[in-house]
Chains A and B, each alone.
Chain A
């Protein structure tokens, strides 16, 4: 990175550190922070969407849809995350490939399952075996997003389901008395009011999601915890220009600061949202705001 880094053995300590912290390997570490933030930025709305769908389905009067929503909430919440991540992702990936295989290679005569191997024709591979590495990484990333969204969506669905029931029933009845249809009551009365009840539960989920990102490595995505372990491990002078002892503690300390800082910022933002949502609501928070305004 810097020009003086070429003779790394004679560097004064500060410059050595500057060179050390800008190796290609460290760049991978810094980039993985972006990966994690991007994952959170995409997963959170996606999970909310899954949750909203699940909760609406679980409230539905259509029986099959109702069962589907309730089964989704119950099953996904009940399966341990790690089992879900190991089993479901491989199954999902194989399901995609199986479908592509049926479409693209109809005259394939060999069995797809050969002992332990899962063999589909080359054209059905996802991504194709010939694809460059970044395509594989992007694909893995999106499979990770989808899995996270399904898992956290189930928890969000349960939170939203509860929040929808917490909206005072009198409000719904009044809306119906005014002649609103089911759909209108749902979108104009129920949904705008439920968020204030859902937010505490959703903010918990968000915090858990932030901390769950190391599960990414199970899916082959190199996340910050992987790099911290890799970079912090003892570096033998035979294999690196920047040898050092076991520095994992320092790397994990950096992660600690990152996670704590990130959750703190989240808390501040969530507090603001809560204040805004409480405005004009028939809740204790909303009442407090009304009083404060009256006093002023």
Chain B
């Protein structure tokens, strides 16, 4: 776009705005079906004048509540939607004007939707995608082998999604979106519906991919842990605006949440022999005298349990969103 743009920048949005015209009343037909001829429209702003840029190789988490504008933003970046005003560029190109060129370098995983053929073996789906993205036969073979190793799919690629567990299927989806070695990988709620173990596995895989593939990742999720484990940077959106853009550490600091150590200290109390009382002591972990306070608290008795609180992104986000509401 502009000359001063850093050569590292891959995705950039300038004053991006996107509005929708929606029908106010979808189902009413009115009396005697007269609604057949009635239509009331109103405008909703899904993305409200936002700007940001993402560097090559960066992994960015996109966090927001339902309807915050996450999906719309992803659709604008991929060229599925055209901005109402402002501009968006991927690799210096406008995605809606150079759709086929831009999307050749993008891979997308929709957590709620599959891009695989439900009843055909995974490898057959890959074969069609190979043709869609014009991937070379040799490159394709190599890539398939490499990805099935990273994604631990192995012989599962001979099975149809219908016969796979949800976790396995998501790995198949990720494979499908990486087959053409995209420079930008977009993941929209990739861990939705998975159990804890499968979630952890997918997160680790994505992290591995980020490190090994030199791919720029945008991960949208409700699941804060996804972002925490995978991303270097977080963008918080609410009501179509950016509430926060920066590292997670900074976010914790700005949110004004202190990390504290909570100790359960057991001490022999009162006169009676063997009567133990447990006291809960909270020690803030910031400040110069943190260490001495910690020692003091711990030596009051026997420490039966200890845990850190306040660092939870969940809590921080809740606070930030709460503040935004006010």
Asked whether A and B interact, the reply is: no
Query: Which residue numbers of A lie inside 8 Å of B, CB to CB?
Result: none
> What is the interface of chain B, defined by CB distance below 8 A to chain A?
none
